[in-house]
């Protein structure tokens, strides 16, 4: 069962990361009026905006990773607790 929980936790993290990436991109575009500086081909973006985008993206990714891990651990604990009662 432990492998199943790890697989579910990984899938939840990937899905949450994908959703957070889309959210950060959308918020960046709405707040700055520019596309996110991801590929480095658009030289109109300054180094400052690229660094700020990288910091925001990594901070959001770290928060999502922690929340997904905690949620998975709570689900595992709930599952283990419910199987003990049966």
* pLDDT score recorded for residue 9: 80
CA dist 84 → 3, 12, 72, 80, 81 (Å): 19, 25, 18, 6, 5
Residue-level pLDDT at 25: 92
What is the residue-level pLDDT of the chain in tens, covering all 86 positions? Answer: 678 877 888 888 888 889 889 999 999 999 988 888 877 666 666 788 888 898 999 999 899 888 888 888 888 888 888 766 55
Q: Cα torsion for 76, 58, 60, 53, to the nearest 10°?
A: -160
Which residue range is the domain that position 78 belongs to? Answer: 47-86
Q: Judge whether 59 lies within some domain.
A: yes
Classify residue 40: in a domain, yes or no.
no
Contact 12, 68 (CB under 8 A): yes
pLDDT at residue 81, as a whole number:
81
The reply to whether 17 falls in a domain is: no
Q: CA torsion, points 78, 83, 84, 86, in degrees to nearest 10?
A: 130
As for how many domains the chain has, the answer is 1
Q: Is residue 42 part of a domain?
A: no
pLDDT of residue 41: 66
């Amino acid at each position: 069962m432990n492998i199943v929980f790890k697989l579910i936790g990984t899938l939840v993290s990937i899905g949450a990361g994908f959703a957070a990436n889309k959210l950060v991109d959308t918020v960046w575009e709405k707040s700055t009026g520019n596309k996110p500086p991801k590929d480095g081909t658009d030289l109109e973006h300054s180094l400052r905006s690229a660094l700020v985008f990288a910091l925001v993206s990594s901070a959001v990714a770290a928060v999502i990773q922690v929340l997904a891990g905690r949620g998975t651990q709570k689900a595992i604990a709930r599952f283990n607790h419910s199987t003990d009662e049966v």
